[in-house]
Chain A
């Protein structure tokens, strides 16, 4: 991170009007307060709820049950299934996005006419609403009246029928939506690779594979890692797309959580599940950040 020279609060000029201290507090404290009230307080609240037997649908107050919710959840094979499904979904969709996105960036990293326009057009899918677009993908995938099977000559292939197919089909839509994001970060990384390195490689008559693995990849790696972190976090909490597209038959953790919290109204139990999810996300992010730092050091 760049070091920023701060202004000198002792300067005479700064003493006119509001003092720097006042300005600093007025600029920063409201935001901190806002984030604490609307992000941190709910977290503490649901941590408390996770140790209780409580249904928001009943008038009964929460009843403290200790770790029972966590015990029950961790012993429920269904929950493990949800995590397995989510993991598979994350691997397929994020893996696909990394490949497609980075591939696209490599393709785009050259001079050609209308480059700006093409890049913008490629970005479009990630700007759209997953819930709204997902609905339409249901039509595209339909074996009897959708255009995809017709265009690809897949006959009656059932994209969304079996939960496993549906998982891959949903992940494919996710790849369609989010590869542009990886592409964009990779492009930023590629354009930052100093030209003289390539020129040096050329002089050394290095093969293009060598140039790619020894120069391009290491230098783009930190940005690829960032894209990976972002996409993993997002994919892990995906709700809209599978919810809309597979009518919730691809039961990711987020969908299970939604059902538990807002269909069964098992508020205490679902708070506990929310916490388990939170811990898993934090753990994954931590591992990634470690690798990121390693990649940066190299």
Chain B
């Protein structure tokens, strides 16, 4: 923008660029360190001085997806040679892959990852769906005490989650919702709904109501006008809201820790639990972390324009 094109700015500009580069590097370094550790051989993962250049390998991912046990004695040469390459890597690391009836036993990681996908996806669809309808309602109809209601909806977002964790736990126990997908989906929908209403209302207000009125004159019903005229106009808002809701649900930790155990547990409380049995295996943790962060990183990147708009929009509206 360079609003002030003074002499000071001309001196300042190159310094600013250098600072931006430094800030970006600092900001990315931890993430790059995680990613690189996922591909490191275990022996150099915690070496001093830290290893930056190494032969990348995928052993950590094999570990992440399999159940293993420590070797007590080395495998015979025949056994070793007959094993597929990835199993050989596990042997090299002093471990062996567990098998039941000849089948490799998988770790819980894929299961937890899929749980995260199920819970985050469905709760996002619900929150954004309900939020869009409600936002339209607030945007287009006269409602008694509208501002109070909107504030009420927003205020439910301000509660520290841990405050409602205790009654939630008791309610879920009564209704048998602990450790179920539905339980988490409801919870995350409730988290995101207030936010979705508030964000979507901002976008709805931006859509000129003249479009709908024209459609009504053309013989559309109000519902048809909503689906055919308003919704297509609101896609940017829906996308931004969806991404934020998804990220919130995808990253949530405290409730998943308390309310889920095995069937519905999501990845965030699970990944820290895979720190290895006798000693920390940082490469496997890094692999689990890397895969878990990947969808969000890709999302952020693909939808960056929506995101920028979504955040600022919501904030200005408030």
Contact = CB atoms under 8 A, between A and B. Distances in A.
Contact of A123 (B143, B254, B300, B316): B300
B160 A27 contact: no
Interface in A204-222: 208, 211
Interface in A54-82: 56
B166 to A, nearest CB: 5
A136 B160 contact: no
B160 to A, nearest CB: 3
B190 A27 contact: no
A46 B285 CA distance: 37
Interface in B276-318: 282, 285-286, 289, 292-293, 296-297, 299-301, 304-305, 307-308, 311-312, 315-318
Contacts of B269: 131
A46 B160 CA distance: 13
Contacts of A127: 247, 296-297, 299-300
Given A32-B149, A122-B23, A274-B166, A110 B2 contact: yes
A45 B317 CA distance: 32
B213 A132 contact: no
Interface in B208-222: 209, 212-213, 216-217, 219-222
B104 interface: no
Q: How large is the interface on B (under 10, 10 to 19, 20 to 34, 35 or more residues)?
A: 35 or more
Contacts of B304: 116, 119-120, 123
A261 B24 contact: no
A31 B130 CA distance: 6
Nearest to B30: A140
Given A107-B16, A237-B161, A261-B169, 11 more contacts: A13-B213, A16-B216, A31-B133, A39-B156, A110-B2, A132-B268, A237-B160, A257-B162, A258-B165, A274-B162, A275-B163
Interface of B: 1-4, 6, 8, 13, 16-17, 19-20, 23-24, 26-28, 30-31, 33-34, 37, 46-50, 130-131, 133-134, 136-143, 147, 149, 152-153, 156, 158-171, 173, 186-187, 189-190, 193-194, 197, 205, 209, 212-213, 216-217, 219-224, 226, 247, 250-251, 253-254, 258, 267-269, 271-272, 275, 282, 285-286, 289, 292-293, 296-297, 299-301, 304-305, 307-308, 311-312, 315-318
The 10 closest A-B pairs by CB, nearest first: A17-B221, A13-B216, A237-B160, A27-B137, A188-B312, A42-B167, A129-B251, A131-B253, A145-B46, A38-B190
